[in-house]
Amino acid sequence: MKKIFPITQKDQSGFTIVELLITLFVAAAFLTSGYQLFNLVIKDSGQARADSRASSVAYDYMRRYSTSVVSPCVASTPLSNVSTGVAGLSNVTVTVSITCPYSATTSLSKIDVTVLYNSPQQTMEYSTYVAL
């Protein structure tokens, strides 16, 4: 007759030290990745906000000067690096130039608005054509 010996298993509860270290390492990697992603989102949203403010300034000047052109194409620079204050932006300067893009058509003027802002310097440009 055969003797059957019972197989004994040790009952393990909880984590082993190796499992605990691996879990801590993975948790630290997730926390670091989350922090870097958070910083990237904050930085990009700040840049988008600055671009939006500069765009609004450029569009405002473009619309203002497009309605003030009254004579047939006369090249001029009504504003040249004029400083202006804009909330959330630094070192803001505006340049507005009116040119005659086509010499054969003297009733068409082109208005260019350039806004320089922040440090390092960034540029926002808008242009439109005005026919008289």
- Written as tens digits, the pLDDT of the chain (132 aa) is 666 666 666 655 667 888 889 999 999 999 999 999 988 888 778 888 899 999 999 999 999 998 887 777 888 899 999 999 998 899 999 999 999 888 888 888 999 999 999 989 999 999 999 987
Q: What is the pTM of this model?
A: 0.68
Q: What span, in angstroms and rounded, lies between the C-alpha atoms of 75 and 99? A: 4
Identify the CA nearest to 99 among candidates 61, 68, 73, 124.
73
Residue 127: what residue type?
S
- Cα(24)–Cα(30) distance, integer angstroms: 10
Candidates 76, 68, 74; CA nearest to 103 is 74
Angle made by CA atoms 50, 54, 56, in degrees to the nearest 5:
115
In sequence order, what are the beta bridge partners of 112?
97, 127
The pair of structure tokens assigned to 68 is 């003030």
